[in-house]
Structure 1
Amino acid sequence: MSSDTKGALLDVVKGGVVSVTLFAAFLNLPVIGLPAAALTPFPALYFGLKRGNRAGIGLVLLAAVLVALAGGPEASVLYLGQSALLALALGWGVARGYSASRSIATAVLVTLGLAAAAAAVYSVASGVDLHERVVAGIRESISQALSLYEKRGIKGDELKPFRDALEQGGEVLSRLYPALLLIGQSIVAGINVMLLRRFANRLPAPIRIAPFNSFRNPDYLVWVAIAVGFSLLIDNNVVNAAALNVATVAGFLYFLQGLAIVRHYFETYSVPALLRYLFYAMLVMQAYLAIAVALLGLFDLWADFRRPRKPKNL
């Protein structure tokens, strides 16, 4: 066995163990598990690009077997659908020289498309309405949260504001969970691509990943947003639900473009790290600031805020 083959096998084993560890943290640790879930695709993505497609697939299969042994077949299926497929699809796009945004879009659409197809087949075969099951799960979570408040002594009129807020939030989730799933998967893919950019110098071939502050949506997205706005005027529940989901995704994409503009100016004017962190903290806490950033991304279509300005002649 050659040294390259031994190195590849060692990387597959190391990557498989890391993937399983991260995925186990996601399943067993409620808070810490969320960042771990976002990083779970990275070992397969990185070693697949470093050692080739066979190594990436072998790593995924090894991790799936280990997850099945530790957590059962359902956990293994969840790993394959949530992390493994995303890693392989991302690696496929990056290896072919796709831009970061195109690689992410391709991987997310492939992953969620296959998941939706599998869900549709399961729904038809079992006769189970998956949408109703999701809605029922959301309502059950709300009931559990309200019971927790009651156990802590919050009852009657004191509980009403919490009940109203949770019920309104549950109604929003029941209508927008497809868009939120797409956004969540896109964030996970973006985190892995940005992390891959940091390790790009360790890969055998150069990869095409531009910095985030250059991100820009295609110009035709504005026409999608306009069409969605008119669709919301149609008195049809199905059309309105679809339009709201598309509008949510479009708003998220323009938010990313606005955030890229902000990052561009942070780097152009060397804004101190403390001020950057304060801005990001306010962005999380203030919804109006997030809307302003999304509008900044939308208006970039006409203003082109990152265009180099010619110095004025004195």
Structure 2
Amino acid sequence: MTPWPIHSGLSKDIATGVTATLTIFSLAVLMPVVGFLFSLFIPLPVLFYRAKLGRRHGMIVPLVSIAVMSLVFGGLTMDIFFFFGLMLLGFVMSEMFEKEVSVEMTILSVCGIVLGAGLVGIVLFGMVNQTGLYTLVSTYVATNLKLSLELYKGIGIPQETIDAITASLDRIQYVLIRILPSLAAASTLFVAWTNLIAARAIMTRRGLFYPDFGRLNHWRAPDPLVWGVIGCGLMTLVPNMDIRLIGINGLLVLLTVYFIQGIGIVSFYFEKKKLPRTIRVVLYTMIAFQQLFLLVVICIGLFDMWINFRKLDTHKHEPDPPA
């Protein structure tokens, strides 16, 4: 008898989970301009099949998927760590669902575990390759900057813009390396929140357990958090570059939190006005691709502390409507 007996129905579920994960992975890799939008949802099939199949069989989906991805990339690379982190996020989120803790604790736990595992993995990867952490990260950033330049050339960005970016490449690399911790934290936070919302409709329709987090478009950040934004903002005005970079790192994470709150407000009014789903998708896409709209949403989230755009009773708990 094998330690993990798998019957035919279970094998089909595992195969479907692996196929779904690898399909999203393929779209993310093969569509470089909008591929990052697909990569956001790599955790989703892992989360779903972990909930459906349980911990022991559910972990087969990410393990097989990462093995196939490693073959595609020709072995373990930094990109593999990125995709592994996304799948780990989905697995850990399903684990947290079973603990039935608050939405804040769920997100913080998921982000902490994923970021911690990522850091340990990168350090071990550097040790195996006899490369220091800074050198490893610096090489990775430089390589991706060059690939981005090639992409810009391929999609018809004006040559003068390409030349300007090329001339500033060293400076861009210097800053990117130093704000990479906050970029990693902010992106993990955003991906975790996106999959938390996306999982609700899928899991409830399939009869799987989903915690009662209340109306997520009613969520708001703790009021004292605004002092962190003010403090980090003031740090960016200090002439010392090290202090400014600390402030920038803090702002990137905190403004992501307020972007999530702002999107909740936008979703609240979309729901209140009963906008058709097609129009909602178009407007959300505009927010994703237009920096001006992105900044407006962040400002809405930030100023909600004083204005209370949704006129919410913060002490009242309302369950989400049926998916």
Question: What's the TM-score, normalizing by structure 1?
Answer: 0.78
Q: 1:127 to 1:60 in 2, by over 3 A?
A: closer
- 1:92-241 pair list within 5 angstroms: 92-123=95-126, 128-142=131-145, 159-165=159-165, 167=168, 170=172, 173-201=176-204, 202-241=206-245
In 2: Cα distance, 1:147 partner to 1:77 partner? 22
3-state DSSP of counterpart to 1:307:
coil
Q: How many Å apart are 1:286 and its aligned residue?
A: 4.6
- Partner of 2:63 in structure 1? 61
In 2: Cα distance, 1:245 partner to 1:125 partner? 29
* Candidates 12, 15, 39, aligned match of 2:14: 12
3-state DSSP of counterpart to 1:180:
helix
- Partner of 1:253 in structure 2? 257
- Partner of 2:28 in structure 1? 26
Q: How many Å apart are 1:45 and its aligned residue?
A: 0.7
In 1: Cα distance, 2:155 partner to 2:46 partner? 44
3-state DSSP of counterpart to 2:229:
helix
Amino acid aligned to 1:268 = K
Q: 1:284 to 1:153 in 2, by over 3 A?
A: closer
* Candidates 29, 50, 53, aligned match of 1:51: 53
Amino acid aligned to 1:184 = S
- Partner of 2:42 in structure 1? 40
Aligned pair count?
A: 305
Gaps of 5+ in 1: 310-314
Q: How many Å apart are 1:90 and its aligned residue?
A: 0.9
Deviations 1:185-236 (A, max 9, x none): 3333233222211122223434234444222112231122233234334454
Question: What's the TM-score, normalizing by structure 2?
Answer: 0.76
Q: How many Å apart are 1:255 and its aligned residue?
A: 1.8
Q: 1:268 to 1:175 in 2, by over 3 A?
A: same
Q: 1:139 to 1:54 in 2, by over 3 A?
A: closer
Deviates more, 1:213-222 or 1:140-149: 140-149
- Contact 1:64 / 1:79 at 8 angstroms: preserved in 2? no
Q: 1:272 to 1:126 in 2, by over 3 A?
A: closer
Deviates more, 1:41-50 or 1:63-72: 63-72
Q: 1:308 to 1:64 in 2, by over 3 A?
A: closer
- 1:67-86 pair list within 5 angstroms: 67-69=69-71, 71-74=73-76, 77-78=80-81, 81-86=84-89
Q: 1:147 to 1:33 in 2, by over 3 A?
A: closer
In 2: Cα distance, 1:151 partner to 1:16 partner? 32
Deviations 1:248-305 (A, max 9, x none): 1111211221221122122223345676456445534553443232222112112222
Q: 1:93 to 1:235 in 2, by over 3 A?
A: same
In 2: Cα distance, 1:89 partner to 1:96 partner? 11
